[in-house]
């Protein structure tokens, strides 16, 4: 019962403050104590993410400072020049985000590394831009993205402006492992750090430059700028930058959902602030109906992901991540092809669990498609490489989980530039008498009816994690050979097979009609995810295949004890 020993250490150690100890003393459920202390909050390529609270397996000022000390030592190891380049730090609306950001800056300062700390809430893509703009060696954004209100997180970026890959994550993890106790973490007083020019507070000047650069990425001007748009930041960081870019782009009828305009760390109006879930659009739909909105746009709390709904008769139709990605690919490539300004060796990048409709569209325009492991750290690794090799020119990247990036201004998914492109796209087709649903139907008619479904099965705690592992191993060693009248023709085990995409615990199964499904544990949430894709001659046939594959695979997963 090592977790009890750790629990008692936190209660008896003078290093931990009384507020922390009182929180721990109030715990009466031993399962809760075990979950807080059975392991250390894992630092990986996504940084840290977990529930807020006291304990080694929670997000708190101690675990954040420990991770930052590991980051600091990694930078120190790279020499004085790296230390002088500094680290940019941003934070979102969540509980303790500001405190965690300031603690991170103070730890870096104590290690002789300059920290550029934003003066208030900022979006994740702006952090990526700032790392590139200021030439920082690294960046940190304190956010749990779209997780529920009880979570927070800590994402680390490297000099290219993209999230760290395994090589840097392993260096940081190794440095963290060398720290024997929290008392070894260095910490400088904030005012002292500012007076010694080790913390520099940054503000509006960065926002202005970012906004100005985004405006240059507009594609078409022959659009209907009076398209009626309702926008919701879901009480997150998108409120200011998204509304600003749409206004400066010339859109005259953009209205924010009043109840979801201001920051709210409890996400009172939405609960689970994930626009990938159509339920997050409830307030936007009600408001949109009241004012006759044609397009609804919602961004997640750190404004790196965006989803849309389109007016359809008396209501709204949700457009999922794969469909939105295909629409963006089609709009960008067709428009730039018409203008004859596609580069010589253009490329788009998507994740291995994203559908293939975008690839089919890209093929039409002679644009190469690359598949990577999930996550924009992997998607952006390719344009980072092409910056050096000049082998391809990056046009856009996307993944089914409503993450998109157009252009090379930042190196992470960016809901600000994507909101601008989506609004422009909708306004462009409106000028032609069509909405995005009609355009999507045209795409299906040309390329085939691609359908998709994501099923997320939540399995929390120690037992949940163990069951996820058992499910993965069961299906890995005993794949499903037949799904109704379809049979398995190809398997990719990204953990054990050699692929160009890299190593990850993902299983992908191709069926003889071109349909496929993939299974993977979430890297940031207590879930196992099932991705199902089909292609059919009609929409009905395509959906029937989706249901067949889902039911077959879920029955198998549920049998695992």
Structural domain ending residue among the three candidates 414, 447, 480: 447
Give dist(CA 170, CA 181) in Å, integer: 19
Q: Say whether both 260 and 115 belong to one domain.
A: no
Q: Say whether both 45 and 102 belong to one domain.
A: yes
Of the candidate ranges 34-43, 200-209, 502-511, 517-526, the one whose mean pLDDT is the lowest: 517-526
The DSSP-derived string for 318-336 is: EE-HHHHHHHHHHHHHHHH
Q: Is residue 258 part of a domain?
A: yes
Q: What are the residue ranges of helices labelled H in 111-261?
A: 124-134, 166-177, 190-195, 204-215, 239-248
What are the tokens at 496? Answer: 């054990």
Q: Is residue 145 annotated as part of the catalytic site, yes or no?
A: yes
Confidence at 150, pLDDT banded by 50, 70, 90: very high
The DSSP-derived string for 128-150 is: HHHHHHHT-SEEEEE--TTS-TT
pTM of the model: 0.94
Confidence at 1, pLDDT banded by 50, 70, 90: low
* Model pLDDT for residues 184-237, shown as the tens digit of each residue: 999 999 999 999 999 999 999 999 999 999 999 999 999 999 999 999 999 999
Q: Say whether both 300 and 391 belong to one domain.
A: yes
Give dist(CA 292, CA 312) in Å, integer: 11
Q: What CATH number is attached to the domain comprising 151? A: 3.40.120.10
Q: Is residue 131 part of a domain?
A: yes
Q: Is residue 15 part of a domain?
A: no
Least Cα distance to 438 among 313, 322, 530 occurs for: 313
Q: Say whether both 373 and 390 belong to one domain.
A: yes
The domain containing residue 499 runs over which residues? 449-559
Q: Span 46-62, mean pLDDT?
A: 95
Q: Say whether both 178 and 270 belong to one domain.
A: no
Q: Say whether both 464 and 439 belong to one domain.
A: no
Q: Is residue 34 part of a domain?
A: no
Domains in the chain: how many in total?
3
Q: Say whether both 546 and 453 belong to one domain.
A: yes
Give dist(CA 524, CA 508) in Å, integer: 20
Mean pLDDT in the chain?
Answer: 96
Q: Say whether both 178 and 70 belong to one domain.
A: yes
Q: Span 39-59, mean pLDDT?
A: 92
* Model pLDDT for residues 304-330, shown as the tens digit of each residue: 999 999 999 989 999 999 999 999 999
Q: Say whether both 425 and 503 belong to one domain.
A: no
Q: Is residue 20 part of a domain?
A: no
Strands 516-521 and 507-511: antiparallel
Instruction: Output the pLDDT for position 225.
Output: 98
Q: Is residue 218 part of a domain?
A: no
Structural domain ending residue among the three candidates 417, 432, 447: 447
Q: Is residue 4 part of a domain?
A: no
Annotated catalytic residue within 123, 145, 351, 504: 145
Q: What CATH number is attached to the domain comprising 539? A: 3.30.310.50
Q: Say whether both 128 and 197 belong to one domain.
A: yes
Instruction: Output the pLDDT for position 476.
Output: 97
Q: Span 275-280, mean pLDDT?
A: 96
Q: Say whether both 241 and 371 belong to one domain.
A: yes
How many residues are there in the chain? 561
pLDDT at 525 over 90: no
Structural domain ending residue among the three candidates 156, 186, 209: 209
Q: Say whether both 136 and 201 belong to one domain.
A: yes
């Amino acid at each position: 019962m090592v977790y009890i020993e750790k629990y008692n250490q936190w209660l008896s150690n003078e290093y931990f403050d009384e507020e922390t100890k009182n929180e721990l003393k109030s715990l009466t459920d031993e399962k809760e104590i075990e979950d807080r202390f059975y392991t250390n909050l894992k630092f990986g390529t996504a940084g840290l993410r977990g529930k807020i609270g006291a304990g080694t397996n929670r997000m708190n000022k101690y675990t954040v400072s420990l991770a930052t000390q590991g980051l600091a030592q990694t930078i120190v190891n790279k020499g004085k020049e790296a230390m002088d380049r500094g680290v940019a730090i941003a934070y979102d609306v969540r509980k303790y985000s500001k405190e965690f950001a300031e603690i991170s800056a103070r730890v870096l300062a104590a290690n002789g590394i300059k920290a550029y700390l934003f003066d208030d809430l900022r979006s994740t893509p702006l952090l990526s831009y700032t790392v590139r703009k200021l030439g920082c060696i690294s960046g940190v954004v304190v956010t749990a993205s779209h997780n529920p209100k009880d979570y927070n997180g800590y994402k680390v970026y490297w000099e290219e402006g993209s999230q760290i890959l395994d090589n840097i994550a392993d260096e940081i993890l190794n440095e963290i492992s060398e720290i024997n106790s929290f008392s070894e973490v260095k910490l400088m007083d904030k005012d002292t750090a500012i007076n010694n020019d080790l913390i520099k507070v940054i503000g509006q000047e960065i926002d202005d430059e970012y906004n100005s650069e985004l405006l240059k990425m507009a594609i078409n001007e022959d659009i209907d700028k009076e398209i009626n748009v309702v926008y919701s930041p879901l009480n997150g960081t998108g409120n200011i930058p998204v509304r600003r870019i749409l206004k400066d782009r010339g859109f005259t009828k953009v209205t924010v959902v009043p109840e979801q305009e201001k920051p709210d760390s409890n996400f009172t109006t939405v609960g689970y602030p994930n626009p990938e879930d159509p339920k997050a659009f409830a307030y936007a739909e009600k408001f949109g109906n009241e004012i006759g909105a044609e397009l609804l746009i919602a961004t997640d709390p750190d404004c790196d992901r965006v989803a849309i709904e389109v007016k359809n008769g008396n209501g709204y139709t949700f457009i999922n991540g794969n469909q939105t990605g295909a629409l963006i690919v089609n709009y960008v490539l067709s428009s730039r092809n018409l203008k004859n300004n596609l580069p010589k060796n253009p490329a788009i990048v998507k994740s291995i669990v994203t559908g293939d409709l975008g690839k089919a569209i890209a093929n039409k325009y002679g644009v190469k498609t690359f598949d990577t492991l999930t996550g924009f750290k992997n998607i952006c690794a390719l344009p980072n490489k092409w910056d050096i090799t000049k082998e391809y020119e990056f046009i856009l990247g996307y993944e089914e989980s409503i993450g998109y990036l157009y252009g090379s201004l930042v190196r992470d998914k960016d809901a600000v530039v994507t909101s601008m492109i989506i609004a422009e796209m909708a306004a462009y087709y409106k000028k032609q008498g069509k909405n995005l649903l009609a355009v999507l139907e045209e795409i299906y008619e040309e390329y085939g009816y691609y359908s998709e479904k994501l099923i997320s099965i939540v399995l929390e705690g120690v037992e949940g994690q163990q069951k996820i592992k058992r499910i993965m191993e069961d299906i890995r060693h005993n794949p499903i050979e037949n799904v109704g009248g379809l049979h398995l023709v190809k398997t990719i085990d990204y953990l054990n097979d050699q692929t160009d995409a890299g190593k990850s615990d993902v299983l992908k199964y191709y069926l003889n009609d071109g349909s496929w499904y993939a299974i993977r544990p979430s890297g940031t949430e207590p879930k196992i995810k099932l991705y199902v894709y089909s292609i059919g001659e009609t929409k009905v046939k395509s959906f029937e295949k989706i249901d067949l594959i889902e039911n077959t695979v879920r029955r198998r997963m549920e049998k695992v004890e």
